[in-house]
């Protein structure tokens, strides 16, 4: 099998290159993103492998089909960036449903601890021998209420972490896990009662802007919000208005709804044209990172292994356990 990798970074090659040889695949790495302007690079390949900020619309699906590209391999769990319906009966889509739930959940808690206890600010201060504690006061997480939106594998890992901190846990999921020992409540109740809200759900038409002006109005004063899932779960304009009004104790964003073309790239020498992102950076209680919650050695290795296992299964007519179809409504 010949596979064209797009949006490739040096760290992708660490595992994919040797594993590809292991499977007997021919892999070509492209640094450019996968989009309409670069789709011609897929000609002559059996599959394309793309990342979260690439996209595949209906017209691109048709082009891939005409090029006889058999599969789209996703180096991610989410698939909202691919027109799944257009691909039906034309292109097989295979994803990585679980790589390291703990990696993302641990990172989410790390963001909360940082914005709550201002460790990022303390680090900068003490490097200049400013040992003042003014402006660095946080709150105890112990006995506070954590609201977990989405109880798939990452959400479950987050529940375990929050309980380890002695927190009470409420959960919301349209598809509750009956085997999970957690108190499920309505989204409205969770938003109203949680001191900390952590988003761990896929981006669908139902979850887009699940955090909006109305839900923010119903949140507690001083609530902490963290998003390590998909940027468009939060209405950015509403979030900024809430920050200006002093609603939030702290906000951690590892994702952003307009992150395509910005995250994963070095923009340090450029003027930031995204006004909302630039404004978010000005709030002292907002921490923004570049979609790196998954980024551990264990997770990267697992992503490579499952992605290439998916390709191997397709090539050899084995069951496609990670196939994405139109019947898929949520992430595991």
The yes-or-no answer on residue 259 being catalytic is yes
CA distance 137 to 174: 36
Q: Which of 75, 81, 200, 291 is catalytic?
A: 291
Catalytic residue check, 43: no
C-alpha distances out from residue 114 to 99, 146, 222, 279, 287, Å = 25, 16, 15, 20, 8
DSSP H/E element including 184:
strand 183-184
Tokens of 241: 């208005």
Q: Among the options 259, 260, 298, 305, which is catalytic?
A: 259
Please calculate the CA angle 52-54-59 and round it to the nearest 5 degrees. Answer: 130
The catalytically annotated residue of 75, 81, 95, 230 is: 230
Q: How far is CA 157 from CA 31, 45, 58, in A?
A: 33, 38, 35
CA distance 55 to 329: 19
Among 330, 322, 329, residue whose Cα is nearest residue 92: 322
CB distance 151 to 165 below 8 Å: no
Q: List Cβ neighbours of 17 (8 Å cut-off, separation of 6 or more).
A: 27
Residue 82, beta-bridge partner list: 56
260 among known catalytic residues: no
Strand 286-288 relative to strand 196-199, pairing: unpaired
Active-site residue set: 230, 259, 291
């Amino acid at each position: 099998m010949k596979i064209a990798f797009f949006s490739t970074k040096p760290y992708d090659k660490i595992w994919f290159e040797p594993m590809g040889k292991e499977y007997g695949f021919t892999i070509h790495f492209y640094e450019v993103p996968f989009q309409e302007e670069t789709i011609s690079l897929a000609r002559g390949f059996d599959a394309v492998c793309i990342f979260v900020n690439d996209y595949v619309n209906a017209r691109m699906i048709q082009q891939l089909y005409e090029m006889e590209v058999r599969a789209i391999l996703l180096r991610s769990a989410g698939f909202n960036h691919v027109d799944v319906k257009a691909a039906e009966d034309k292109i097989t889509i295979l994803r990585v449903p679980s790589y390291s739930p703990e990696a993302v959940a641990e990172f989410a808690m790390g963001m909360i601890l940082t914005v709550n206890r201002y460790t990022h600010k303390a680090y900068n201060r003490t490097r200049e021998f400013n040992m003042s504690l003014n402006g660095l006061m946080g709150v105890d997480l112990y006995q506070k209420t954590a609201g977990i939106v989405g109880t798939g594998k990452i959400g479950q890992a987050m529940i375990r972490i929050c309980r380890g901190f002695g927190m009470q846990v409420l959960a919301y999921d349209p598809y509750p896990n009956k085997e999970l020992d957690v108190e499920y409540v309505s989204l409205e109740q969770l938003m109203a009662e949680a001191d900390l809200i952590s988003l761990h759900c896929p981006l669908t038409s139902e979850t887009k802007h699940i955090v909006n002006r109305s839900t923010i109005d119903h949140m507690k004063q001083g609530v902490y919000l963290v998003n390590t899932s998909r940027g468009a779960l939060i209405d950015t304009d509403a979030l900024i208005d809430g920050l200006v009004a002093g609603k939030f104790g702290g906000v951690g964003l590892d994702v952003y709804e307009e992150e395509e073309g910005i995250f994963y790239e070095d923009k340090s020498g450029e003027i930031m044209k995204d006004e909302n992102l630039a404004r978010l950076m000005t709030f002292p209680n907002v921490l923004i990172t570049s979609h790196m919650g998954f980024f551990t050695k264990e997770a990267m290795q697992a992503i490579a292994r499952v992605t290439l296992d998916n390709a191997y299964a397709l090539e050899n007519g084995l069951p496609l356990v990670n196939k994405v179809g139109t019947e898929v409504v949520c992430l595991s």
